[in-house]
A and B are shown apart, each in its own frame.
Chain A
Amino acid sequence: MNEKANLGSWSITLLAAGCLLTMFSAAPASAGDDVVVLKAGVVHVGDGRAIEHAVVVVRNGRIAAVGPDVPVPGDARVIEMAEGSITPGLVEANAWVDPTDLLAPPPADAYTILNRFLHHHDPGHRDMTCCGSRCPRAYLHEAGKKCPICGWPDTAPRMAVGTNVGRVAVEQSSEVVPETRVLDGLNLRSPDFGRLARGGVTTAFVAPDTAAVIGARGAIVRTAGPMSQRVVREADAVQAVMSSDAFRRGQNNNLPMRHFVTFNTRRPVSRMGVDWVFRKAMYDAQRAGKGLPVSGADTPSPAALAALREILSGAVPVRMHARTQNDILSAFRLSREFGLPFTLVEGTEAYRCLDQLVSGHVPVVFGPIYVDAPGYRVYTGETDHNRVNTFKALLGAGVTTALSAHELRDEDGLARQALYAMRSGLKLEQVLPAVTATPAKLLGLGDELGTVESGKRADLIVWNGEPFAATSTPEVVMIGGEVVVDRRHG
C-alpha cells in the first residue's frame, strides 16, 4: 500500500472523525435516524485499500463514516464480526437472470385450464433443468410431483436458466429489438435474485438473453429490498450479440421444432448473417434519420428505428457480447464503422486482442472464469481456447475489467469468480475492485456504490472471514442500510 493510499485512508478517518465529533458531541443520533454500526477485523474499501479494525457507521441508508476510531452513537444497532471483514456489496455487471419463478411448480390454476380450453399452448419455460437445458421429461412435469429425471421442482439450478429460455427474455419477432426493455420481462420476485443477494451481489445489470442480434436494453436493479426501491435504472445499455448465440439460440430454428414458417426462420444462421443484420439495422436507422425510405428484408419496426437512432446518437450505450477473437474483432469493425463505443461482454479470447482493447479504451465485462466451460457454452464450440488467466492478463494490460458470473450462482457465483481469479494468481486488492468499484463505474453508479466510503449507499457485506475465501460466507448483506441477508443466527 503506497503512501498516498495511507494518506487517503487517514484523511478519511480524520474527516470522518471530525464530522462525527461535531455531529455527535452535541447530542445522540436524532430520533428517526436509522443508525447501524458494522464492526469487523478489516474493512476492504474496494479500491485496493484495507483499513484494520474499522468501524462503519451507516445512517439512513448511507455510509456516514468509516475508520478505526469512529465514535459510535449509543443507540445504534451493532453488527459485529471480530474475525471477519467488510467489503462493498458486489456489483454484477452482467447478470443473466432467470426471469421466471423456476422453482415454483407451474400454477395448476384455472387460468391455465381456461387457456387450455381455449386452445392455447402452455409456456414451457418452467421445465428447465439445472444446467439450462430442457428436461427430456418436461411435458410430464406435474405440480406437486418431483421429476425423476431433473429433480424439478426441487432442483436448485446452479445456473439461472434465463440463458436458455429464449423467447421469454427476448422478443423474437425480430433480431433487432432495441425498443424493448429487459425490465418488462423481468420478474423481480424471481428467487434468482434471492440467490444473488445471498451470494453478496447487491446491484446487478440484468442483460437480455443473447438470442437477438440487437437485443433489449438492460435494467439495473437491486437484488433485494422493498419493491419500490428495486429498480435503479429502467433502461440502460443495449446488448448486441456478435457471438454464435445470436444464431444458435432460437429453438424454433431447427427442424423438427419448426412447425411452420414463421419469422423465426429468417434469423441469421451464420456470423455473416449476424454482421449483416447489425449493419442493415444501423444503415436503415441512418437513412430513416435523414428522412430516406427504408426497405428490404428485416427492416426494423418504426419503434426499433427510433431506438436505433438513439443508439447512433450516443444516448444509449452499447455492449457487445463476443467470445472468440473473430467475434471480438467483428465488434471492433462494426464499432468503428458506426462510431459506437462499446463494452465487451464475456470475451473468452480477449487475451488475443489485448492491444486493440487497450488502444480502443474498451472496457470489458469478463467472465466467467472456468477450466471446463459451464452450462451451454460447451456446445458453442467457442470455449476451446479458454484460459484461466485471461482476467489476470486483462488487468495486467491495463484494460478496465469488471468480473462477472453471468448466469452462474451459488458455489459458482460472483464471489466464487473472485476466488477463481485469486486462484489464477491475483491478490485480493486486485480482484475486489473488479467486482465492486469498477462495475459500479461502468454502470454509471460510481458515485453511489462500489466502495466503502462515506457518502455512498450502504450496500455492504460482512464476511465471517476473508472475503471470497472458500471457508467464508457473506454472513450479513446490507442494501441501502437494510439487512437483507443474515446468516448469523442458525
Chain B
Amino acid sequence: MVDNRWYDRRALTVCADITKRTEQVVKIPRLILAWTAIATAPLFAVPPAKIALQGGRIIPVVGDEIPKGTVLIENGKITAVGAEVKIPYDAVAVDVSGKVIFPGMVDAHFSRGMDRANENAPVTPFLNVYDSIDPSQRVFEDALRDGMTSLHVIQGNNTVIGGMSRVVHPIGLTPEEMTQVPNLALKISMAPKRGSDRMVQLATLRETFAELDDYLGDLAEKKYEESLKEKDEKIDVGPEEARKRGAKLIKFEDYDDKHANLVRLTRGELPAFVYCEMASDVTRAIAMAKKHGYFDHMVFVLGTHCYKAIDELKAANRPVVLGPELVHRERDSLTGELRETFVPKVFVDARLTFALLPSPDTSLAERYLNYQAARCVRNGIARSRALKAITLYPAEALGMGDRIGSIEPGKLANLLVLSGDPLDFTTWVEKSYINGIEAYDRSKDVRLKRLFGKEPSETKAKNDDAKPDSPKEKSEAASDTPKGDEAPSDEPKHDKSKQAEPNG
C-alpha cells in the first residue's frame, strides 16, 4: 500500500474524457481535502498552489545547470526557473540549499505493478493494463522512493500483440488517481512468446492483420447491406464495390472490441511499443510496421543484441528504449574470449537518442535509474546525454516531451529534490513533487527508516502497515528528520537506556 501515513492524502484526479477515441491529456488536477484517521492531524487546508524551491543547484536537463537558483511552481506547473526569480508573495518558500533539483525520472516501459504482465493468448489488443494495475504493490512505493515520477505501465514481452498501456504516477490509491495518460499505446513483441518460435510469432502477426482486413471487408459489406435495407433497395453491385461503398459508412462505434485498437493502430492513430530481442527482429519490426501503417508512431524497445542493427535503427529514426541490461556479452567459440559491448555507447556514437530503463530485479544496483545513467557516464557517454536518457528522452518516447522530462517553464512540476548529484550513488531522493504537490518526503519514509534501524519495538514492527499515524508520533517523526544532506543516521550510541523510539 502506498503508505498513507506520511503524506496527506490527496486525490489526483484526471478530469478527462476516458473514451476509446480521444487521446488523453491530463487536465488540471483537483485538489481534494483528505484527513488521516485521527483527526487531530496538523491541518493543511489546501496544498500550496505556489511553491518556490529556493537555493538549490538546478539541473534542468535542457540547458545549462544553475549552481544556485529557484524553481517556481504555480498550480502544478513550473512557471519560472533561474538564478534570480521573482517570487510571488503568496508562494511557500522551501529552502533547498545544498540540494539538487532534478526532473522527476521517467520509466518508459514498466511491466510491473500488475498482477501478471501478460495473458496466455497471443493476440490481445483489447486488454487494458488499467484492469490490472494494483496500486498497493510495493513496487510503486519503491519507484517513488527511487525518484520516478512517471511510469509507463505496459504489458511485458511475452505476447504477440498486447493490450493498451497507461502512464501513471507512482502514487495514488486507485488506478484513476494514479493515471497521468490513459490508453497511450499498444504493445507488440517481435520476440517469440514463451514456448513458441519466431516463425510462429511472425505468422501470428501476419494472420492478425490479414484477419483484420477480412473483418473490415465484411463489416463494410454489412454496412452497405444495412444502408440499402434502410432505403429498401437491393444490392446491385459486386462485393468489391459494396465494400468500397460500405467502408465510407463505417463509424468508429461499429468496430468491435477485438478490432477497434487494431484499426486505430493501422490508421496511425495509436503508437505501438515494439519489443525486439535480436537485431533481425528490428528488420522485421520495421517491415511489419511500414506495411501495416504504424511505423510513424512506433517506439522500439530493444534487447542488447539489437545494437547490431544500429544502421537500420538510425534510418528508422524512431524513439528507442533500451532494456535494463546494458552490456551485450558474446563468447568467441574459437578463442574462448569474452567480448563485452556497452550498448548505449553504440547508440551515442551513431547519434541516436535512447531512453534507459531501471532493472526489474530490485536486489541489483541497476534498479536505480540514475545508477544506469552513471554507468553510461562511466563508459564514456556525456553527462548531459546520460541525464536526458532518464528524463527527457523517455518522456519524448511517451509523447509527453512537452509536458515532463525537464525543468522548463510551462512543464508539469514533476521534480525531485536530491541530496546530491544524481550520478553520485550516495545521493538520496529527499523530496518528490508530482504536479506541484509534494508526493514523497524521505524524512517520513517509514520503510527507509526501518532499513536504517529506526524501527519501533518488535511487535509494532510486525504490524507496521496496519497502524495509522498519531499526531504525537508524527511530530516526533518530524523532529527526527535529519536536516541537511546526510543520510538518515543509524541508531547511534548503543544506548540501553529507555529512549522513546521514534515511530512513524
Contacts and interface: CB of A to CB of B under 8 A. Distances in A.
A–B contact, 8 Å CB criterion (strictly below): yes
Interface of A: 103-104, 131, 144, 148-149, 153-154, 156, 158, 191, 194, 351, 354-355, 370-375, 378, 386-389, 392-393, 396-397, 411-412, 416, 419-420, 422-425, 469-473
Interface of B: 192, 194, 327, 329-331, 333, 336, 338, 361-366, 371, 374-375, 377-379, 423-426, 428, 450-453, 486-487, 489-492, 494
Contacts of A131: 361
B378 A354 contact: no
Given A154-B331, A387-B450, 14 more contacts: A149-B194, A370-B363, A372-B363, A386-B451, A393-B491, A411-B365, A416-B365, A422-B426, A423-B428, A424-B452, A424-B490, A425-B486, A470-B371, A470-B425
A393 B453 contact: yes
Given A156-B329, A412-B365, A194 B452 contact: no
Contacts of A104: 331, 336
A229 B182 CA distance: 62
Contact of B452 (A378, A387, A397, A470): A387
A103 B337 CA distance: 11
22 contacts: A103-B331, A131-B361, A144-B333, A148-B192, A154-B330, A354-B494, A371-B362, A371-B363, A372-B362, A374-B364, A389-B487, A396-B490, A411-B365, A411-B375, A412-B363, A422-B425, A422-B426, A425-B486, A425-B489, A425-B490, A469-B424, A470-B374
A194 B425 contact: no
B378 A472 contact: yes
Nearest to B376: A471
Given A104-B336, A370-B363, A371-B362, A388 B452 contact: yes
A284 B239 CA distance: 94
Contacts of A372: 362-363
Nearest to A423: B426
A471 B427 CA distance: 13
A386 B121 CA distance: 40
A470 B364 contact: no
Nearest to A377: B363
A148 B487 contact: no
The 7 nearest A-B residue pairs measured at CB? A470-B374, A374-B363, A389-B490, A425-B487, A470-B425, A372-B362, A471-B377
Nearest to B383: A471
A129 to B, nearest CB: 12
Contacts of B336: 104
A351 B450 CA distance: 13
Contacts of B425: 419, 422-423, 469-470
Nearest to B328: A154
Nearest to B377: A471
Nearest to B330: A154
Contacts of B491: 393
Contacts of A389: 451-453, 487, 490
Contact of A470 (B333, B363, B424): B424
Contacts of A387: 450-453, 490
A486 B379 CA distance: 14
Contacts of B363: 370-375, 378, 412
A371 B447 CA distance: 10
A392 B487 CA distance: 12
Contacts of A154: 329-331
Contacts of A396: 490, 492
A445 B341 CA distance: 36
Contacts of B489: 425
Nearest to B366: A411
Listed residue (B363, B423, B489, B491) with the most chain A CB atoms within 10 angstroms of its CB: B363
Contacts of A103: 331, 338
A131 B364 CA distance: 11
Contacts of A425: 486-487, 489-490
Nearest to A198: B340
Given A103-B338, A470-B374, A351 B487 contact: no
A69 B486 CA distance: 36
B239 to A, nearest CB: 44
B491 to A, nearest CB: 7
B362 A411 contact: no
B487 A424 contact: yes
A148 to B, nearest CB: 7
Q: Which interface residue of A374, A375, A470 has the most chain B CB atoms within 10 A?
A: A470
Nearest to A383: B363
Contact of A158 (B364, B426, B487): B364
B423 A471 contact: yes
A424 B362 CA distance: 17
Contact of A471 (B327, B378, B450): B378
A135 to B, nearest CB: 13
A191 B332 CA distance: 13
A471 B487 contact: no
A423 B487 contact: yes
Nearest to B326: A411
Given A154-B330, A425-B490, A469-B424, A412 B364 contact: yes
B378 A470 contact: yes
B331 A153 contact: yes
A388 B451 contact: yes
A108 to B, nearest CB: 12
A354 B486 CA distance: 24
A288 B327 CA distance: 56
A131 B379 CA distance: 25
A386 B329 CA distance: 33
Contact of B490 (A392, A422, A471, A473): A392
B453 A351 contact: yes
A328 B333 CA distance: 46
Contacts of B192: 148
Determine which residue in B330, B362, B426 has the highest number of CB atoms from chain A within 10 A of its CB, and name it: B426
Nearest to A373: B363
A472 B426 CA distance: 14
A471 B374 contact: yes
B331 A393 contact: no
A153 B494 CA distance: 49
Nearest to B496: A355
Nearest to B196: A148
Contacts of B423: 470-471
Contacts of A194: 338
Nearest to B425: A470
A393 B364 contact: no
A47 B362 CA distance: 33
Nearest to A422: B426
A375 B363 CA distance: 8
Nearest to B489: A425
Contact of A148 (B194, B378, B490): B194
Contacts of B428: 423
Nearest to A410: B327
Contacts of B329: 154, 156
A367 B487 CA distance: 20
A462 to B, nearest CB: 15
A300 B136 CA distance: 53
A411 B364 contact: yes
A351 B453 CA distance: 9
B18 to A, nearest CB: 35
B456 to A, nearest CB: 13
Nearest to B450: A387
B494 A355 contact: yes
Nearest to B305: A154
A248 to B, nearest CB: 19
A63 B453 CA distance: 42
Contacts of B490: 387, 389, 392-393, 396, 424-425
A372 B360 CA distance: 12
B314 to A, nearest CB: 22
A453 B492 CA distance: 34
Contact of A371 (B366, B379, B451, B486): B451
